């Protein structure tokens, strides 16, 4: 496919993702405001962390009274999948100067990865402008503007629980969790994480409980033999990115990219 046609497709896919990112960013803004984040604090998260699941989780950590070191460790673990996206994109962007790759890295999300690698594979080479379209137009701008709108509107509501808005956070966490189910190991990890989280919270407080669930759940999931795990989206692949991306994002945006392991990326010609 020629680059102009592929960029047109990229714009179309980005528009679909942008709508979902805006809606989801708005919900994040509401949840952050419900947890007493100020607009500056909520926006700092969206601008500096810029990772939806980790930002939602941070709302829960703060409400649960989790100490900052715990928040930071869990954030690092939750966002470590970006290592594999970055590795998969590296061969396509190796011609760009280091300062530009360093800038591109901050905007690397599940959505940006899936959109841009699909575009690169269609045209058979890297495309700097394509990456920025995928990273900025699809997610960064709508996510941040919607966060601002959500946190501003959330501040106008005197009693969010009367409107049922207090259920937004746990429902979003549960929904995102369902979206990450790509095999039986994830189901076991989630079930054990939830159970351990609640039991330990009742004994030692919610901050400790969340960390215990988040750390022990994966260990339990790893006990499921690989032969019966039925894993259909290994981490670091476009299929995995689709699961982590905003639930409801158009599937077509992720279908342009072939599934491949990021630790053995296909080299551009």
Partner 1 sequence: MSTDLVLLAVLMGAVTYPSRALPLLAPGIERLPRWTLDYLQLVGPAVLAALAAVSVMVATTDGQPAFHVGIEWLGVFISIGLMWWRRNLFYGLAAAVILVALARYLGWA
Minimal distance, residue 1 CB to partner 1, in Å: 25
CB 74 within 8 A of CB 91: no
Query: Among residue numbers 123 through 152, which ones bind partner 1 (CB under 8 A)?
Result: none
Rounded distance, CA 112 to CA 241, Å?
9
CB atoms within 10 A of CB 144: 18
Q: Out of 11, 15, 149, 179, point to the residue binding partner 1 (CB under 8 A).
A: 179
Query: Among residue numbers 187 through 246, which ones bind partner 1 (CB under 8 A)?
Result: 187, 189-198, 201-203, 205-206, 209-210, 212-219, 221-222, 231, 234-236, 240, 244, 246
Q: Is 175 in the site for partner 1 (CB under 8 A)?
A: yes
- The two structure tokens encoding residue 29: 């803004």
Backbone angles phi, psi at 157, to 5 degrees: -95, 115
Q: Which residues contact 169 (CB under 8 A, 6 or more apart)?
A: 31, 34, 35, 56, 59, 60, 63
Give the x-and-dash track for 56-95 against partner 1 (CB under 8 A). xxx-xxxxx---x--xx-xxxxxxxxxxxxxx-xxx-xx-
Instruction: Give SS3 for 39.
Output: helix
153 vs 198 by CB, closer to partner 1: 198
Q: Is 168 in the site for partner 1 (CB under 8 A)?
A: yes
Q: Which burial class, exposed, middle or buried, applies to 50 when counting CB atoms under 10 A from its CB (0-12, 13-18, 19+)?
A: buried
- DSSP label of 103: H
Handedness of CA 171, 205, 224, 75 (dihedral sign): positive
Instruction: With contacts defined by CB under 8 A, name the span among 5-13, 101-109, 118-126, 141-149 that binds partner 1.
Output: 101-109
Q: Out of 18, 172, 239, 253, point to the residue binding partner 1 (CB under 8 A).
A: 172
Minimal distance, residue 180 CB to partner 1, in Å: 5
Instruction: With contacts defined by CB under 8 A, name the span among 3-11, 41-49, 118-126, 140-148 that binds partner 1.
Output: 41-49
Q: Is 186 in the site for partner 1 (CB under 8 A)?
A: yes
């Amino acid at each position: 496919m020629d680059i102009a046609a592929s960029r047109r497709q990229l714009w179309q896919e980005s528009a679909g993702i942008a709508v979902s990112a805006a809606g989801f960013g708005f919900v994040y803004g509401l949840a952050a405001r419900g947890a007493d984040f100020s607009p500056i604090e909520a926006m700092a998260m969206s601008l500096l962390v810029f990772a939806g699941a980790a930002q939602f989780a941070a709302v829960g950590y703060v409400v649960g009274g989790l100490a900052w070191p715990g928040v930071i460790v869990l954030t690092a673990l939750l966002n470590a999948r970006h290592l594999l996206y970055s590795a998969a994109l590296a061969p396509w962007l190796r011609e760009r100067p280091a300062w530009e790759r360093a800038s591109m890295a901050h905007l690397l999300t599940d959505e940006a990865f899936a959109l841009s690698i699909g575009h690169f594979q269609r045209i058979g080479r890297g495309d700097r402008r394509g990456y920025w379209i995928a990273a900025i137009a699809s997610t960064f701008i709508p996510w941040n503007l919607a966060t601002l709108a959500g946190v501003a509107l959330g501040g106008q509501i005197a009693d969010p629980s009367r409107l049922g808005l207090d259920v937004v956070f746990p429902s979003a966490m549960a929904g995102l969790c369902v979206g990450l189910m790509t095999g039986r190991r994830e189901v076991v990890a989630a079930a054990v994480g939830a159970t351990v989280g609640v039991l330990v919270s009742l004994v030692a407080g919610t901050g400790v409980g969340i960390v215990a669930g988040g750390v022990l759940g994966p260990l339990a999931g790893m006990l499921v033999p690989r032969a019966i795990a039925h894993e259909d989206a290994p981490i670091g692949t476009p299929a995995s990115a689709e699961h982590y991306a905003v639930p409801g994002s158009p599937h077509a945006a992720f279908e342009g990219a072939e599934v491949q392991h990021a630790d053995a990326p296909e080299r551009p010609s």
